[in-house]
Chain A
C-alpha cells in the first residue's frame, strides 16, 4: 500500500514539474521577463522532451538500444507537414487541421515503427542498434529523393527531379526532394507542446505501471524467464517499440509546424539527432522519465545560453557533457552522489523526527 502511494506521488511530481514550468513561463511572459531567445526555444524544448520520454520507453523500459529514433520523428514530421500544406486552405480552423496533422504524423510514425520493428526486434543488443541506425538513415534518405507535385490532374511523384513531374502550369511542387517542404503553417504553440508532453507522460507512465509494462520490463530483465511464464515476447516488444515510434512522430509534427521549412539533414533527422536524444536519456538516467525531461531541457538550453561565449560554446557544451557522464557513472562520482543522498536522507529523517 505504502509503495503504491509512493509511486503515485512520484508520478504526480513529474506531472507537477511540467505544469509548474508552464505556469512559471507563462507568468514570466506576461510580466515581459522572457527574452525572445527563450520564447523561440519553448516549442523545441517540448519537442526534445517528448523525444526523450519516448526513447526512454525503448531504451529504459524495453531495454533495447535504438539509434533510429530521429527516423520516426522524420516520418511524422514529413507526413504531417505534407498534410498541412495540402489542406492549408481547405481545412479551417487551423486548430482542427493541426489536430488532424498530429494524428496523421503519429499514426504514420507508428506504422513505420511497426514495419521496422517486425524484422528488427528479432535482433538483440548491438545488432539491433546497428540496424535501427540504418533504418533511421534510410527513412531520411528516402525522404530526400521524393518529389511530389500536384496540379489539376492530381498528384505526381518522381524520384529524379521536379521537372520530370511534368506539372501543368499552375501546378504546385509539394515535396522538393533534398529541398524538402517549405511553407508549412506555423501551428505549434507552447501550450500545445505542454499538453502533448502531458499526454506523452500519461501514456508512458501508465504503460509502465500496467500489466503490459510489467511484462515488458520482465522481458528486459530476463528474456528466458519471461518466455517461460508465457509472456508473448514479440507482441510486447513490438508494442513498446511502436508506441515509442508513434510518440517520436508526435514530436516530429510539433517540430515540423514550428519552422516554415522542413529539410531532412543529418543534423535534424539523421543519426546526429538520434544520438542526441539518446544522450538526453542516458544523462537523465536510463528508465528515469523525470530525468529524461530535465536532461532534455538542460541540454537544449545549454548551448543557447552559452552564445555569449562565441566560438567556445560548443567546446564548453562538450566538456559539460563529458563531466556529467563521468560524475554520474564513475566510482568517484557515484560516491559523491551517495554522500549527497545520505545527507538529504539524514536531513529529512531529522525533520520527520521533529
Chain B
C-alpha cells in the first residue's frame, strides 16, 4: 500500500515539474487591456514591467503599471514605434528580490524585449544582474539605489538617492536657507537613509551645519515628539525631512504643537502631503521640496497625462506613475533613434538602444531635455516645489 501511495506522490511531483516545463508555450498576453492584441509575435515590440501590485508597497507598483499603460495606449493609438505596435505585460514582484527574478523570468518566457522596471530598489538590484546576463535593455522608473543601474544595459528615470540628498544640500546652501540644520530620517528605509547619507556628506561643503540627527524606524513612526524636541533644543532653523508625506504630516503637526517653526525642507516623497486626510494644510505652508513631477503643473504634457490618468483610474497620479510614463517614451525615443525593429534579438536590440541612448534628449513630464550618461543616470534639473496658499507651486 505504501508503495502505491509513494508512487502516486512521486508521480505528482514529476507531473508538477513537467507541467512547468511545458508552460513555455501556454504563456499568453495577460494584460488584455493593452491594445493591439491582434498583432502577431514579431510584429510588435514586447515591453514588460515589474513591480509590487500586492502587499505593502502595492501603491507604487500599481502607479507604475498604470503609468506605463497610459503611455502604451497613447503610442499605439498614434501608430506605435517605427510603425510597430507595443505589447505590454506587467508582473507582480511583491517587493521581494526572489519574486522579482521569477517575474522577470516569466516575462522572458512571454517574449519580453525591453524591461521597464523594477519599481522598487532591492528587487531591482537582483533583476539587473539577470538583465545584464541576458543583455536586455532595462530602464527603471523608480529604483533609486545606486546599484540599480550598475551595468551599462540599465538606465534610470528618477534621481538616485544620493543625487537627491546632494541636490537638497546644495539648494539649501546656495540659497542661504539656514545656518543650523536638523535632520529626521527613517533608518529602516533604504530611500530615506540613502538621501540622508548623501545630504550629510554634501553638507560638509556647504555653509550650514547639521546640529541634530534623529532617526525613527518603520515600527515607531506615529509619535515624533522626541525627535522634534531634540531638533528644537539644538536650535535648528531648518528641518530636513527625507521621507514620505504620511510621516511628514505627523512631524509638521508635532512641530506646531511644540510651537517650533523652522523652515521645512523635504524630498520627492512629500508630493501628496496636501491630500492627507484630517491634515491641516496650513501647517505645510512654506514647505519646500525637490520633486521630479508636480501634478498641478501648468505644463501641457503634464496636464494631458494627469487628466488621462484621473479619467482612467480615478486618482491623481504620483511621481511613480509619471516616471513610468516617461520611461515608455524614452524607450520609444531610443528605439526610434536606433532604427530598431521587433525582429531583432534581445541582445542586438539592447546594443542598438545602448548606442542610441547617448544621443537621446528627452522632454517629458518629469523633466525637460533629459540626457543619459554612460552610467545610466539621468541628467535633469530637479523642480523645486513650495507649498504656497495650500497649493504646490513651482519655484
**With A178-B189, A344-B5: A20-B105 Cβ-Cβ less than 8 Å:** no
- Taken residue by residue from 134 to 161, chain A's Cβ proximity to chain B (1 for < 8 Å, 0 otherwise) reads as 0000000000110000000000000011
- Taken residue by residue from 112 to 139, chain A's Cβ proximity to chain B (1 for < 8 Å, 0 otherwise) reads as 0000000000000000000000000000
Give the chain B neighbours of A341 by CB distance below 8 A: 1, 5
**Is the CB–CB distance between B2 and A6 below 8 Å?**
yes
**Is the CB–CB distance between A182 and B27 below 8 Å?**
no
**With A25-B17, A33-B24, A305-B20: A348-B1 Cβ-Cβ less than 8 Å:** yes
A39 interface residue per 8 A CB criterion: yes
Selected from A24, A178, A259, A294, the residue in CB contact (under 8 A) with B18 is A24
**Is the CB–CB distance between B23 and A38 below 8 Å?**
yes
**Is the CB–CB distance between A35 and B20 below 8 Å?**
yes
B36 interface residue per 8 A CB criterion: no
Closest to A346 in B: B1
**Is the CB–CB distance between A24 and B28 below 8 Å?**
no
**With A35-B24, A268-B96, A348-B4: A161-B105 Cβ-Cβ less than 8 Å:** no
A326 interface residue per 8 A CB criterion: no
Give the chain B neighbours of A310 by CB distance below 8 A: 30-31, 92
**Is the CB–CB distance between B98 and A35 below 8 Å?**
no
Distance between Cα atoms of A113 and B268 in the complex (Å)? 43
Give the chain B neighbours of A313 by CB distance below 8 A: 92
**Is the CB–CB distance between A10 and B2 below 8 Å?**
yes
Distance between Cα atoms of A215 and B26 in the complex (Å)? 51
**Is the CB–CB distance between B122 and A40 below 8 Å?**
no
**Is the CB–CB distance between B16 and A297 below 8 Å?**
yes
**Is the CB–CB distance between A13 and B1 below 8 Å?**
no
**Is the CB–CB distance between A39 and B14 below 8 Å?**
no
- Taken residue by residue from 122 to 134, chain B's Cβ proximity to chain A (1 for < 8 Å, 0 otherwise) reads as 1001100110000
Q: Which of A180, A186, A263, A313 has the most CB of B within 10 A?
A: A263
| Residues of A246-260 whose CB lies within 8 A of B | 255, 258-260
**Is the CB–CB distance between B147 and A183 below 8 Å?**
yes
**Is the CB–CB distance between B147 and A182 below 8 Å?**
yes
Give the chain B neighbours of A9 by CB distance below 8 A: 3
B241 interface residue per 8 A CB criterion: no
**Is the CB–CB distance between A265 and B96 below 8 Å?**
yes
Distance between Cα atoms of A57 and B193 in the complex (Å)? 40
**Is the CB–CB distance between A307 and B106 below 8 Å?**
yes
Give the chain A neighbours of B13 by CB distance below 8 A: 17, 21, 293-294, 297-298
Give the chain A neighbours of B95 by CB distance below 8 A: 265, 267
**Is the CB–CB distance between A35 and B188 below 8 Å?**
no
Selected from B6, B27, B129, the residue in CB contact (under 8 A) with A308 is B27
Distance between Cα atoms of A313 and B91 in the complex (Å)? 11
Give the chain A neighbours of B3 by CB distance below 8 A: 9, 348
A162 interface residue per 8 A CB criterion: yes
Distance from A184 Cβ to chain B, minimum over Cβ atoms (Å): 10
**Is the CB–CB distance between B30 and A308 below 8 Å?**
yes
**Is the CB–CB distance between A177 and B21 below 8 Å?**
no
- Interface locus among B196-204, B250-258, B294-302, B347-355: B196-204
Chain B interface extent, by class: 35 or more
**Is the CB–CB distance between A36 and B30 below 8 Å?**
no
**Is the CB–CB distance between A35 and B14 below 8 Å?**
no
Closest to B23 in A: A35
| Residues of B354-374 whose CB lies within 8 A of A | none
B340 interface residue per 8 A CB criterion: no
Distance between Cα atoms of A33 and B24 in the complex (Å)? 8
A347 interface residue per 8 A CB criterion: yes
Give the chain A neighbours of B55 by CB distance below 8 A: 267
**Is the CB–CB distance between A261 and B125 below 8 Å?**
yes
A94 interface residue per 8 A CB criterion: no
Closest to A315 in B: B54
B187 interface residue per 8 A CB criterion: yes
Closest to A309 in B: B30
Distance from B187 Cβ to chain A, minimum over Cβ atoms (Å): 7
A69 interface residue per 8 A CB criterion: no
Give the chain A neighbours of B96 by CB distance below 8 A: 265, 267-268
**Is the CB–CB distance between A311 and B91 below 8 Å?**
no
**With A35-B109, A178-B189, A179-B190: A163-B197 Cβ-Cβ less than 8 Å:** yes
Distance from B306 Cβ to chain A, minimum over Cβ atoms (Å): 25
Give the chain A neighbours of B145 by CB distance below 8 A: 179
**Is the CB–CB distance between A260 and B125 below 8 Å?**
yes
Distance between Cα atoms of A282 and B317 in the complex (Å)? 44
Q: Which of A20, A41, A160 has the most CB of B within 10 A?
A: A41
Contacts A10-B6, A267-B94 aside, 10 further interface pairs with beta carbons under 8 A come to: A33-B21, A38-B23, A39-B105, A182-B147, A186-B129, A268-B96, A290-B9, A297-B13, A297-B16, A307-B103
In the complex, 8 of the A-B residue pairs with CB atoms within 8 angstroms, ordered by the A residue number, are A9-B3, A25-B17, A36-B105, A259-B98, A290-B9, A293-B13, A301-B16, A344-B1
